[in-house]
Chains A and B, each alone.
Chain A
Amino acid sequence: MRGEILTFRRSAPGIALARRALPPNVPMAFQPDDIRRLARLARIAVDGGEAAHLARELSGILGLIDQLQAVNTAHVEPLAHPLDVVMASTQRLRDDRAEPAIDREAHLANAPQAEGGLFLVPRVLE
């Protein structure tokens, strides 16, 4: 399966690296059940055929991102905000002033279902 993902019409420098990380004939990293578990976590309904298809595709993507495992990052701080490399940026703070003007009707106009100022959903079970 993984070999299929690596069939490229044109090559790019990334591909050589990707090839090294993906020996041929490795079993698929994701099975349809894994996809169903992830899909539940992400609240996306998937049917059987879709799960199988996504399992193949995500296995290919996993092969790509698994290249990261080969990088030695000991003593490297994660970079969450790009400009942290050059400037220490910190969160700006807002003054505590309330702005009461809220156009509820404009907000509710986009709702799939609304009543009495509320967004309606199928019954929530606690």
Chain B
Amino acid sequence: MDTTLHALSARLRARQATAVSLATEHLERIGAAAPLNAFLHVDADLTLAQAREADRRLAAGDPSPLLGLPVAHKDIFVTRGWRSTAGSRMLEHYTSPFDAAVVERLAAAGMVCLGKLNCDEFAMGSSNENSAFGAVRNPRDPARIPGGSSGGSAAAVAAGLVPAATGTDTGGSLRQPASMCGITAIKPTYGRVSRYGMIAFASSLDQGGPMAHTAEDCALLLDVLCGFDARDSTSIEDIPADKAHIWRGFQAENAANASPGKEFAGLTLGVPREFLADGVAPEVRAAVERAIAAMVARGARRVDISLPRTALSIPAYYVIAPAEASSNLSRFDGVRYGHRAADFRDLNDMIERTRAEGFGREVKRRILTGAYVLSHGYYDAYYLQAQRVRRLIAEDFQAAFRQCDLIVGPVAPTTAWKAGEKSADPVAMYLEDIFTLGVSLAGLPGLSVPCAVDAGALPVGLQVIGNYFDEARMLAVAHRYQRLAEAGS
């Protein structure tokens, strides 16, 4: 059955379903899929209240395209009602007195929230094994990881528990799990989606975005998620007029490229040689090459480009993100909210034990790394140097975009690995982020669209990287590619 937002919306409009029936249907599936561990908190009363309200709006003829459709939020977005834990023991019982901007916007559009989705603790991880509330399983193969840190979101969508979900991406956390679970997700340009109410990991990198089955669904969602928010100082107010509307831009792009067999005419795709170098799993490389070839066969031009500092994005990211995280997570001190240790000698001991008990291993590693790179005598060598390399990386992308419209390549070097395989080795895990980190450092938009499955039936994602504010075009290209892939399969 077609479980896209697009299809569900058609069922609602045709009165074949109601918001309440859709919500109930999905809540039942969530209950049955408990072993996936995708959801952290479900509250049927809250959900059904929203669904009933959506049904009233539907009955009144409200044309909002997302009205009545189910969604769920990565538990890094705060919500009134549902608990907001960030996947951490530190916030196990925390309830926010306000909703995140992302949550507000989708609620205002009439979407019905099904609950909160598991994730790596404070969004730190690439496998969703770092959640204090247990690892999430990949619905394609429960022995494997779903990717991270938005692993609960990706798994829930892939398993049909919810047609769409929100996620966040700091170094690949939307794209990589989407790739590993075989769904579509887009990380927008930094500053397009408000960070208000997103529990901060690394402020200069964090960006929220949608996850769904198709690029078309992502375009619908992103159209609502994007927008200026005065409560976030890094929210961008003056987006170029021709790039301001996602859905409109998405439709215009598709309308202009509708002629069969020439769906990609005039599009130049840049393929960074560093993205297809040795070390990328052969099946991943082959899948990406086939996808590119399919688009070239329908009018796209391929240019081989270079992003020479691709490998350097790893150390640059693993300085900047931990530095910002170490400071952002200092607020968790057991004073005003969250966990507080039960036994302590004095105030200082209370804070130290609270943090020792409340944070998991990966979070501690990053806090300590961050404290180190910012500390006296090391700041210039690590933090400032990383920010300089960051500029070089961003400039590399700008140079590349002088040669092409979009950059394409793999999302990750491999498909989903077995749970536990890399847990003992943080650096090995970090290296898996190599193709997503540069985009995050540069603040560029990047999406992941499924392009194949490997011999083990594990999905491979194609990464499409655009220049700033080019989300509509990226989604439109991904959409046409998806149509092609559907027709071909």
Say if the two chains contact directly (CB < 8 Å).
yes
Residues in A lying within 8 Å of B, measured CB to CB? 5-18, 35, 38-46, 54, 57-58, 60-69, 71, 73, 76-83, 85-86, 89, 91-92, 94, 103, 106-107, 109-113, 119, 121-125
Measured CA separation A7–B421 after assembly (Å) = 12
Interface contact B355-A44, CB-CB below 8 Å: yes
Interface contact B427-A64, CB-CB below 8 Å: yes
Interface contact A85-B398, CB-CB below 8 Å: yes
Q: B233 contacts which of A35, A91, A109 (Cβ < 8 Å)?
A: A91
Q: A89 contacts which of B94, B236, B375 (Cβ < 8 Å)?
A: B236
A-B contact count (CB 8 A): 224
Chain B residues whose C-beta falls within 8 Å of the C-beta of A42 in the assembled complex: 326, 330, 355, 367-368, 371
Interface contact A67-B426, CB-CB below 8 Å: no
Interface contact B315-A67, CB-CB below 8 Å: yes
Q: Residue among A81, A103, A113 with the most chain B CB within 10 A?
A: A81
Measured CA separation A68–B323 after assembly (Å) = 15
Sample of 12 further A-B pairs with CB below 8 A, known A43-B351, A67-B315, A77-B391? A18-B431, A43-B348, A43-B352, A44-B367, A58-B369, A60-B426, A65-B315, A65-B373, A67-B312, A76-B388, A78-B388, A83-B443
Chain B residues whose C-beta falls within 8 Å of the C-beta of A81 in the assembled complex: 204, 234, 443
Chain A residues whose C-beta falls within 8 Å of the C-beta of B384 in the assembled complex: 78
Q: B392 contacts which of A46, A71, A91, A122 (Cβ < 8 Å)?
A: A71
Q: Residue among A10, A44, A63, A71 with the most chain B CB within 10 A?
A: A44
Chain B residues whose C-beta falls within 8 Å of the C-beta of A15 in the assembled complex: 279, 431
Interface contact B191-A83, CB-CB below 8 Å: yes
Interface size on B, residues (CB 8 A): 89
Interface contact A61-B431, CB-CB below 8 Å: no
Interface contact B426-A83, CB-CB below 8 Å: no
Interface contact A46-B356, CB-CB below 8 Å: yes
Interface contact B413-A85, CB-CB below 8 Å: no
Interface contact B414-A110, CB-CB below 8 Å: no
Chain B residues whose C-beta falls within 8 Å of the C-beta of A123 in the assembled complex: 346-347
The answer to whether the Cβ of B277 comes within 8 Å of any Cβ in the partner chain is yes
Measured CA separation A8–B375 after assembly (Å) = 31
* 4 closest residue pairs by CB, A with B: A82-B443, A78-B387, A112-B340, A79-B391
Interface contact B426-A13, CB-CB below 8 Å: no
Q: B382 contacts which of A8, A65, A79 (Cβ < 8 Å)?
A: A65
Q: Residue among B315, B335, B351 with the most chain A CB within 10 A?
A: B315
A112 to chain B, nearest CB (A): 4
Interface contact A13-B315, CB-CB below 8 Å: no
Q: A14 contacts which of B340, B349, B431 (Cβ < 8 Å)?
A: B431
B329 to chain A, nearest CB (A): 9
